[in-house]
Amino acid sequence: MITSVLVANRGEIACRVFRTCRELGIRTVAVFSDADEHALHARVADAAVRLPGSTPAETYLRGEAIVKAALAAGADAVHPGYGFLSENAAFARAVTDAALTWIGPPPEAIEAMASKTRAKELLGIAPLDTVTEADLPVLVKAAAGGGGRGMRVVRRLADLDAERDAARAEAQSAFGDGEVFVEPYVENGRHVEVQILADTHGTVWALGTRDCSLQRRHQKVIEEAPAPGLSEELTRDLYDQAVRAARAVDYTGAGTVEFLVADGRAHFLEMNTRLQVEHPVTEAVFGIDLVALQLRVAEGRPLGPEPPRARGHAVEARLYAEDPAAGWAPQTGRLHRLDLPDGVRLDTGYTDGDDIGVHYDPMLAKAVAHAATREEAVRRLAGALERAAVHGPVTNRDLLVRSLRHEEFTAARMDTGFYGRHLPALTTPAPDPYAPLAAALADASSRSRFGGAWRNLPAQPQVKRYVMAGEEHEVRYRHTRTGPRADGVRVLHTAPDLVVLEVEGVQRRFEVARYGDQVHVGPTRLTALPRFPDPTAQHAPGSLLAPMPGTVVRVAEGLREGSSVEAGRPLLWLEAMKMEHRITAPVTGTLTALHAVPGQQVAVGSLLAVVRGEGD
């Protein structure tokens, strides 16, 4: 019997595993990096062990340090979560060699399937050794790991070598393994997967399908179960291939077999020998706890002869601290509030007041809705996200709501090219035009409570300025003896946290929260501007500023001050939140200043370089 589990991971998945362990009466142990010293997963565990350092390579990728932590804390089992070392056979062996129970598949199965090249060979699928123009487009893909890292779509043969080098570098940084391979890239297919669960007694369950087609940068954004619109014949083929893959390597535990579905056929992609991020939709549909079943299998107990019956439909959306309209740039800062309406499952590694740092994935939470039908589940999730309080950095919340309500998604006609086709429309700003007025009136109400009352005589117009959706908005209102007055609306109620306006005969309520110069009016995010702008906050034309905090990982070869550059040419690369981001020349001209060097930590807005255009 397992009595104490160390989770060799962080954030949301660590908290998720701890929740099941607590319900089963199992003691929990966390590991945490210096950057995660105050993280939720380190706070909620029964015991926590520090891993000195902040980067993954220094901490969560150090298998020997994690095994040592488990022994020191008295754990008798290790759960790897997903990412990091979850598909590392050497780590699995180190756990079992230390007389600890490994909550995962045998190391031999991990070795056979964790390398995508070897997995394809096992199933008789050969990668592309030589690429010609006729093969394009192709996908360069890391042999190890997942989560969209180490993947590049190549559409021009001339770009292949550079993209292969970039994928190798990213894969080495993320997984400690720089092996990559090339495979055909199927445009606009559907990403469909099968959840499997196998015990040590020869039983293999195929726990339904999931559709994970809505992706950005090859990383999933919205997932659902079951995958809609599949024929019975195709579903049986998916099940058969998944079970066959599991039996081919004597698999045990939870795993996922992924496919690209196109033209009515299933093309094998890979097998993930771990729990998936999107596992909650399967749990909701089958009424099970996959973590509890992982523990059961690890203890050697059998599964039932048949899996439970599926009921209804479930949809999951991943809430990220990122700006989809700015190249999915990750965001950092204080998460002041995260709250969703009742009736929706929320899996998260954050609580109100936590800081979102630069070292790890920017996912804040997963929201999951389950209902009798797909239509009801989708509507429930979209409504919950729309009403959610997400106060802090910019997130993809509005994108999620619009995606869930897009006609292609509601009609189940989506594919992996969804965001490539629709991102501009999905990210076109549509803020509430009355949000700035509500913010200004709430601020005035707060000040009146601490500095007097409303005026008895009409006063000069009060002016406040806000940035909303990238544009500056000026608000004017007056203080009167009956309260504030604004043109075109009736002000019915003002308080620091609530403003009620009557607009064209309709009463509208605006919940308001302010944190410094950041104001949230319902789902709308604003920035309050000072009365007098700072004249020093200027940069020379052509300045390249860091779009996010991160680390400069490399500078283009041969680049120096005085170099000629072409518009769009990558000049340097930043790594932040597990992703590499290219900083490119904005115009064709001359590099007049270069302030960035490899290894340098930069803050958002830091001056990296200056490019002077040819005509400047």
Q: Which fold has domain 543-613?
A: OB fold (Dihydrolipoamide Acetyltransferase, E2P) (2.40.50)
Residues annotated catalytic, as ranges: 274
Pick the CATH number of 435-528 from 3.30.700.40, 3.40.50.300, 3.30.70.250, 3.90.1530.10: 3.30.700.40
In 455-569, the DSSP E strands lie at 462-468, 471-480, 483-485, 490-495, 498-503, 506-515, 518-521, 524-528, 543-545, 550-555, 564-565
Q: What is the pLDDT of residue 536?
A: 46
Above pLDDT 90, what percent of the chain? 73
Q: How much is the pTM?
A: 0.84
| Domain 4-103 CATH class label | alpha beta
Residue with tokens 């000072």: 530
Pick the CATH number of 190-426 from 3.40.630.30, 3.30.470.20, 3.40.980.10, 3.20.20.70: 3.30.470.20
Q: Which fold has domain 113-184?
A: Dna Ligase; domain 1 (3.30.1490)
Task: State pLDDT tens for residues 217-245.
Answer: 889 999 999 999 999 999 999 999 999 99
53 pLDDT more than 90: yes
Pairing of strands 219-225, 337-339: unpaired
Mean pLDDT value of segment 420-448 = 93
Task: State pLDDT tens for residues 172-184.
Answer: 877 778 888 888 8
Which letter, b or e, does each residue of 329-356 get, where b requires 16 or more Cβ atoms within 10 Å of its Cβ? bbbbbbbbbbebeeebbbbbbbeeebeb
Name the residue ranges covered by the structural domains of the chain.
Answer: 4-103, 113-184, 190-426, 435-528, 543-613
How confident is the prediction for the chain on average, in pLDDT? 92
Mean pLDDT value of segment 329-352 = 96
Q: Where are the alpha helices (DSSP H) in 185-303?
A: 232-248, 279-286, 290-298
